């Protein structure tokens, strides 16, 4: 069946949204080989994860069966995006097909599937409706795909809890140390970081409980950085760029700002001239963003952190016209 203008526009829009989000420099992006899909790309951090997608606009129930079967059986896919026209017959058929997979041997692969519904009156000829759908899809993809697939499932609550540490700079220094050198013992790490062992143990145990550090033992011990720990360290590195006036043109990066806002980090509300350190710092202890920026400023002043470099977009390998 020939594709419609709405189908084609939505497929292009999904790729454009992920490419725009990559300008946050929190991950790299490259468009991929489409193969059996309407669109595909790879998101790159310390790993590379394939994201593929289909757009359902006009085709029938049999088409939904085929699309989902392709999603479920395809190898080496980290996330599968299904962008569908919001009609009751589509929802009913999708529910029916996914339920059949939940009762089969491939049920675990359903976790890779993300479904985003588009209002059925979308018209690709209307500039206003294209703007509305772009904003709707942008928020949905960022919240339900990018935060989970590329940023380790970070939430605003995670950020607030991280920032609530009463030892400015310590949590970031620990994450950086674990990322660069690992964590073999409290004694060795405390000596390297110049921390008291009791303070170090409290902070590492806290970071472990919050999910920023992982361990093969449920009791902790030899720690490694989790995906959310790596992601928060990357975010802190971009906040350091902001404090240094080096985040982008005019110290702005709207794509990073959008992602940060979804995580409750309202950093533009804190001017770079704010006194975050020293006597009587201008920090509202009820403001998680201010506390997080204080952690960043202190870790930077201490010189204890190897700040992650930005992730940049990779050359496209798309075979699409």
The per-residue pLDDT for 2 is: 58
Per-residue confidence band for 313, with pLDDT thresholds at 50, 70 and 90:
low
203-207, long-range: CB < 8 A, 24+ apart: 203/165, 203/167, 203/170, 203/171, 203/174, 204/174, 206/165, 206/171, 207/162, 207/171, 207/174, 207/175
pLDDT value at 62 more than 90: no
* Averaged pLDDT for residues 271-278: 94
Q: Give tens-digit pLDDT for 228-261.
A: 999 999 999 999 999 999 999 999 999 999 999 9
Q: Which of 216, 203, 206 is nearest to 173 (CA)?
A: 203
Phi-psi region of 123 (alpha: psi -120 to 50; beta: other; left: phi over 0): beta
Predicted TM-score of the model (pTM): 0.90
Residue 118: beta bridge partners?
85
Are the beta carbons of 23 and 77 closer than 8 angstroms? no
60-74, 76-90, 202-216, 279-293: least confident range = 60-74
pLDDT value at 221 more than 80: no
The per-residue pLDDT for 318 is: 45
The per-residue pLDDT for 195 is: 92
């Amino acid at each position: 069946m020939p594709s419609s203008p709405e189908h084609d526009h939505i497929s292009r829009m999904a790729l454009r949204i992920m490419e725009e989000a990559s300008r946050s420099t929190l991950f790299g992006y490259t468009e991929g080989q489409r193969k059996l899909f309407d669109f595909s790309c790879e998101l790159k951090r310390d790993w590379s994860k394939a994201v593929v997608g289909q757009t359902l606009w006009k085709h029938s129930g049999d088409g939904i069966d085929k699309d989902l079967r392709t999603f479920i059986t395809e190898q080496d896919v980290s996330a599968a995006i299904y962008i569908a026209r919001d009609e009751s017959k589509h929802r009913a058929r999708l529910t029916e097909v996914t339920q059949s997979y939940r009762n089969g041997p491939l049920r675990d692969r359903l976790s890779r599937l993300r479904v985003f519904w588009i209002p059925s009156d979308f018209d690709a000829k209307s500039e206003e409706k294209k703007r509305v759908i772009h904003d709707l899809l942008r928020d949905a993809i960022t919240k339900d795909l990018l935060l989970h697939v590329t940023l380790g499932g970070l939430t605003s609550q995670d950020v607030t809890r991280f920032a609530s540490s009463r030892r400015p700079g310590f949590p970031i220094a620990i994450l950086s140390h674990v990322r660069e050198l690992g964590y073999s013992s409290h004694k060795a790490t405390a000596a390297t970081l110049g921390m008291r062992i009791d303070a170090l143990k409290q902070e590492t145990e806290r970071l472990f409980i919050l999910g920023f550090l992982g361990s093969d033992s449920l009791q902790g011990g030899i720690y490694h950085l989790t995906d959310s720990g790596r992601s928060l360290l990357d975010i802190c590195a971009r906040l350091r760029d902001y404090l240094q006036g080096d985040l982008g043109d005019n110290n702005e990066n709207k794509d990073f700002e959008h992602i940060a806002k979804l995580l409750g980090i309202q950093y533009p509300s804190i001017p770079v001239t704010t006194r975050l350190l020293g006597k009587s710092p201008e920090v509202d202890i009820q403001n998680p963003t201010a506390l997080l920026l204080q952690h960043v400023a202190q870790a930077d002043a201490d010189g204890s952190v190897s700040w992650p470099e930005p992730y940049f977009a990779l050359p496209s390998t798309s075979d699409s016209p």
